[in-house]
């Protein structure tokens, strides 16, 4: 079952196209990472899914509904980079204030989160650091054990320790919730995401399981006995580079037998071939540079 879906989703802000023909599915129980550069449309997608913005074309389904009623909203935890909070409230008052809105509020879980995140109960939200505010926002969103957790750039500007603490809190809820997260902290996301979608200029370039993505991208280095870079390289070979007698490229559809056959066809018998897996950040940079070159 897909807990979030978009159907040919489009969004314009006057003449500017933010989203175009977007078809996205987020499986229930997944930790889905939505990645892309600034302005790719990640926040716009999330705001439409949360019924904060209305689409120009197409539609979305969140928890199986096009429009979210109070019943669905009570099952969603939402934390954004620019979270608006009642800053005059203390942390303890803030949690108590939210409790009546959520029938599934778990007092024991709320207490556990306050301790885990070391939140000062008697301090006003306006006096908290950015990291502590994000902890308070996440604690308030996890205390009622939501079915869906949506996070829009939650790690932006936070130090590594705070990011680790937020991720730890998230992972404790991952067994009972679906998580959608957009973030530029790709190294952090790679450590716990099960699925990834790549958004570029308002279009979804791919959406797949993290293991499948990691398996199909490889950095390849071929050492030759001669100079020269052949023409008509396979279209799946991204960012080919030539340095002396060494050719480097990224194979975006790696298959060992096929890749080696293409190398022999183009280069004969090379002196050596080195094939290495790539972290998510390197994959992202490769795709961004390939898109810019093609534009």
30 pLDDT above the threshold of 70: yes
For residues 70 and 100, state if they share a domain.
Answer: yes
CB 97 within 8 A of CB 90: no
Instruction: Kindly tell me the sign of the dihedral angle through the C-alpha atoms of 222, 225, 229, 231.
Output: negative
**Residue 131 structural domain:** 2-213
- Residue 28 has what pLDDT? 93
The pLDDT tens digits of the residues spanning 76-124 come to 999 988 888 999 999 999 999 999 999 999 999 999 999 999 999 999 9
| Count: domains in the chain | 2
For residues 182 and 96, state if they share a domain.
Answer: yes
292 pLDDT above the threshold of 90: no
For residues 74 and 179, state if they share a domain.
Answer: yes
Q: Is residue 292, in this structure, part of any structural domain at all?
A: no
156 pLDDT above the threshold of 80: no
Residue closest to 69 by CA, chosen among 51, 55, 54: 51
For residues 197 and 224, state if they share a domain.
Answer: no
For residues 228 and 106, state if they share a domain.
Answer: no
CATH number at residue 29: 3.40.50.300
Two tokens, residue 19: 């989203």
Q: What are phi and psi of 212, to 5 degrees?
A: -70, -40
Burial of residue 106 (number of CB atoms within 10 Å: 0-12, 13-18, 19+): middle
């Amino acid at each position: 079952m897909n807990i979030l879906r978009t159907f040919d989703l489009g969004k314009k802000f006057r003449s500017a196209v933010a989203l175009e023909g977007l078809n996205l599915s987020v499986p229930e129980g997944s930790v889905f990472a939505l990645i892309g550069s600034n302005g790719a449309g990640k926040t716009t997608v999330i705001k439409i899914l949360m019924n904060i913005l209305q689409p120009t074309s197409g539609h979305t389904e969140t928890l199986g509904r096009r429009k979210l009623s109070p019943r669905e909203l009570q099952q969603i935890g939402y934390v954004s980079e620019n979270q608006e909070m009642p800053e005059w409230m203390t942390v303890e008052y803030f949690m108590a204030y939210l409790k009546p809105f959520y029938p599934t509020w778990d007092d024991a879980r709320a207490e556990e989160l306050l301790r885990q995140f070391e939140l000062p109960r008697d301090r006003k939200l306006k006096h908290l650091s950015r990291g502590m505010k994000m902890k308070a926002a996440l604690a308030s969103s996890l205390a009622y054990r939501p079915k869906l957790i949506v996070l829009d750039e939650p790690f932006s500007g936070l130090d590594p320790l705070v990011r680790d603490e937020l991720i730890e809190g998230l992972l404790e809820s991952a067994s009972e919730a679906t998580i959608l997260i957009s973030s530029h902290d790709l190294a952090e996301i790679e450590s716990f995401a099960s699925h990834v979608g790549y958004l570029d200029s308002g279009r979804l370039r791919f959406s797949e399981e993290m293991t499948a993505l990691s398996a199909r991208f490889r950095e390849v280095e071929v050492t030759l006995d001669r100079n020269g870079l052949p023409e008509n390289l396979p279209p799946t070979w991204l960012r080919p580079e030539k340095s002396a007698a060494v050719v480097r490229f990224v194979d975006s559809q790696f298959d060992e037998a096929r890749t080696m056959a293409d190398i022999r066809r183009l280069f004969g018998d090379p002196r050596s071939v080195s094939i290495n897996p790539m972290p998510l950040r390197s994959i992202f940079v490769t795709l961004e540079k390939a898109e810019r070159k093609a534009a």
